[in-house]
Structure 1
């Protein structure tokens, strides 16, 4: 069938809306009519050549919508189901069997190669293959092929077009607090970066009933939003070292920190803000894949510090996305306050607006 999709022709090119063909679902695949798809930094990492992908290609990995067809091996998803799509994983390796699919041994191959494992693509343009299967979905389009394994049923009550970011950015931030780190009621948290991932961590900290929630963010409007979502303190990194500003609030430092910048300079400062036996969780993706962080071994030992890399909030989406939806329906997790809707046809304008900090998380509507 014919679909429309926002297509990248190459590195640093703008997206162009093109009509192309999508195949019927095979094996364990499902065809989803997209209601909305979040715009994420990882999509832009492909655009700027920071992640490998096949061009011309269709990215987009925070899609949600309605299933309109299923492959012959699908057993748990039916036509008409409302679903959110998330990252892809093999389902067979040790980490997948432990309920930690974000550390699947085939994560890179399943999410970034631009094709099915057999090398074929469900998308074609003028008879030639198009890079697809980005995070198992490529959902910057009116329709997307995904696998039964990487879609999650959504209950009635949640706005279908807004649910897509639960599959990546929102679950990453919230999961860092609710799954990755042993954050407890009354403890303290520093969130570095008030974008959608960082503020999703704030929402998770509120659910966890943490005592002190500090957000470091240079954009004033985002600091104000952080306070409205439950942060107890906000600081501006332009006003001086984050560590000094944190210790003005908590002289002994914070128990946990979540960094969304992956900046060596920022992380060095964050470590200085930690309490004894504090833990730093890194969610951001470094712009330089060869970047290295120097850690003083004696300091780590003497202070009992821990540093943890976090992918997708350590989420098992089949269980964690419904958990977040339930919190949302109870009024405890208002992630919709992070979202601005824009037409898919305005994807380039949305990227510019998000880059300027005018909007936090754009959801594109086909």
Structure 2
């Protein structure tokens, strides 16, 4: 009988992380991977997105999380997932990343004595005001297996007293997604599909964190800086729904309507990476894209006081910046050009294969 492994995903980056693992587990012959979509981001057109970008088909289960506060989202997912686990007890539950879905399903599974593995474990920003940091700490404290993307993740876990037997460095699963999608990415025509021109040098911008977009004064300063940057280099700005809502609410959206500043709706993963891949630099407050730009050798300016991915700074192409030095840093990159593409241990597109091997060992199938 095949081993059943639940792969938990709630927001778009989660699906990108489980896709390579789903394909690798499906190919084993001994495993039946099942995708559990918690519904944390209910606005994703899951059928089309999965089929076109990840080639996974429909999720096996959709939990329909409620919207609202972190407590409401987490609680609703815990209740719904517990109901599912009462009907089907998998051999292993794999949670990824650091969103509310991750901690909710990990807790529900552990309370029913089902083993839990955390993919992308050990990442730390050391900022406990971030909900994601609390989720990371909670999940890593209870998971049976902790799969880290790099050596710093293992160091963080050991410093927290985690025993060596639970820690396994497997590499960065996001790089698997990227390399798996490259053939499609290379065929993307953003001009015909989204009327986005890549002819002149450009910068890609992504902003969504509450600390940057929910405060009117902060967002107004960001808009002013982006307009200044657009006078020096073209900007492509896929606007997150949260950010667009605030821009309109604060009467700032019209200021971004500049000839060299292209505004568009959020792009699919394939289209977004196609834009990033040919860009001169990226300005962001996101997490995963710090890793993808490092792999692609694209300079990344992260508008945050900290990052849970410090290896992208020490060994990659990422820099933490503030609004006070944003324009200056953009100018430096324009003048100096792109850095040499770095090579980080186990960021090689083979993470899913290593994880499958570890799962096989854990479930005693090899």
TM-score normalised by the chain length of structure 2: 0.31
Write 1 or 2 for the structure with the bigger share of strand.
Answer: 1
**Which protein, 1 or 2, shows the higher relative CO under an 8 Å CA cutoff with sep ≥ 6?**
1
